[in-house]
Amino acid sequence: MDRQIRLPEVFEHKMQKLLGEEYELFCKSYENERVYGLRYNPLKWSEEEFLQKVPFTLQKIPWAAEGYYYDDAQRPGQHPLHEAGGYYIQEPSAMAVADILKVSPGDRVLDLCAAPGGKSTQLAGHMRGQGLLVSNEIHPARAKILSQNIERMGIRNGVVTNETPERLAAFFPEYFTHILVDAPCSGEGMFRKEEAAITEWSIENVERCAQRQRDILHQAALMLQRGGTLVYSTCTFAPEENEQSIVEFLKEHPDFYIEAIDSKPGFSQGRPEWAGEGENSVLTGTVRLWPHVTAAQGVPGEGHFVARLRREESPEDRGMSDRGGSATKSRKTSGMTGALSKGQLADWDQFAAENLKMKPQGTPCLFGSILYLIPEGMIDMKGMKVLRPGLCLGENKKGRFEPSHALALALHPEEAVLCYELSDQEAKEYLRGAAFPSPLDKGWVLMTYRGCSLGFAKSAGGMLKNHYPKGLRR
Question: 353 vs 356, 359, 401, 415, 445, CA distance in Å?
Answer: 6, 8, 12, 11, 14
CB atoms within 10 A of CB 73: 7
pLDDT value of position 329:
39
State the pLDDT confidence band at 337, using cuts at 50, 70 and 90: very low
Q: Which of 406, 409, 349, 290 is nearest to 25 (CA)?
A: 290
What is the C-alpha separation between 272 and 263, in angstroms, rounded? 17
pLDDT value of position 362:
86
State the pLDDT confidence band at 4, using cuts at 50, 70 and 90: low
Q: Is the pLDDT of residue 368 over 90?
A: no
What is the C-alpha separation between 465 and 38, in angstroms, rounded? 32
pLDDT value of position 399:
79
Question: 59 vs 35, 37, 236, 265, 305, CA distance in Å?
Answer: 11, 9, 25, 14, 23
- Cβ–Cβ < 8 Å for 172, 379: yes
CB atoms within 10 A of CB 129: 19
Cα dihedral sign, 83-85-87-90: positive
Q: Is the pLDDT of residue 325 over 60?
A: no
pLDDT value of position 330:
40
Q: Which of 165, 184, 292 is nearest to 238 (CA)?
A: 184
Residue 419 identity: C
Element (H or E) spanning 312, and its range? none
What is the C-alpha separation between 63 and 93, in angstroms, rounded? 8
Mean pLDDT of the chain: 93
pLDDT value of position 318:
57
Query: What is the DSSP-derived secondary structure letter of residue 20?
Result: G
Q: What is the Cα 238 distance to its own chain's centre?
A: 24
Q: Is the pLDDT of residue 342 over 90?
A: no
- Cβ–Cβ < 8 Å for 391, 346: no
Strand ranges in 41-175 using DSSP code E only, listed in sequence order? 58-60, 67-70, 87-89, 108-111, 132-136, 158-161
Mean pLDDT of 148-160: 98
pLDDT value of position 2:
40
Q: Is the pLDDT of residue 345 over 90?
A: no
pLDDT value of position 13:
97
State the pLDDT confidence band at 1, using cuts at 50, 70 and 90: very low
Mean pLDDT of 40-50: 97
- Cβ–Cβ < 8 Å for 338, 382: no
What is the C-alpha separation between 278 and 201, in angstroms, rounded? 29
pLDDT value of position 195:
86
Per-residue pLDDT tens for 458-471? 999 999 999 999 99
Looking at per-residue pLDDT, the higher value among 435 and 325 belongs to 435
Per-residue pLDDT tens for 292-314? 999 999 999 999 999 999 999 97
Active site residue 209: no
Q: Is the pLDDT of residue 327 over 80?
A: no
- The full DSSP string for 93-127 is GGHHHHHHH---TT-EEEETT-TT-HHHHHHHHHH
Q: CB-side exposure of 139: number of CA atoms within 13 Å?
A: 9
From 235, 365, 392, 452, the catalytic residue: 235
What is the C-alpha separation between 396 and 100, in angstroms, rounded? 42
What percentage of the chain has pLDDT greater than the value 70? 93
State pTM to two decimals: 0.94
Q: Is the pLDDT of residue 206 over 90?
A: yes
What is the C-alpha separation between 238 and 467, in angstroms, rounded? 48
pLDDT value of position 114:
98
Q: Which of 348, 325, 330, 385 is nearest to 159 (CA)?
A: 385
Question: 193 vs 197, 296, 425, CA distance in Å?
Answer: 8, 19, 33
Query: What is the DSSP-derived secondary structure letter of residue 429?
Result: H
Looking at per-residue pLDDT, the higher value among 423 and 325 belongs to 423
pLDDT value of position 398:
80
State the pLDDT confidence band at 474, using cuts at 50, 70 and 90: confident
Q: Is the pLDDT of residue 390 over 60?
A: yes
Question: 102 vs 45, 125, 301, 401, CA distance in Å?
Answer: 20, 12, 21, 39
Q: Which of 75, 70, 59, 77 is nearest to 37 (CA)?
A: 70
Per-residue pLDDT tens for 237-265? 999 999 999 999 999 999 999 999 999 99
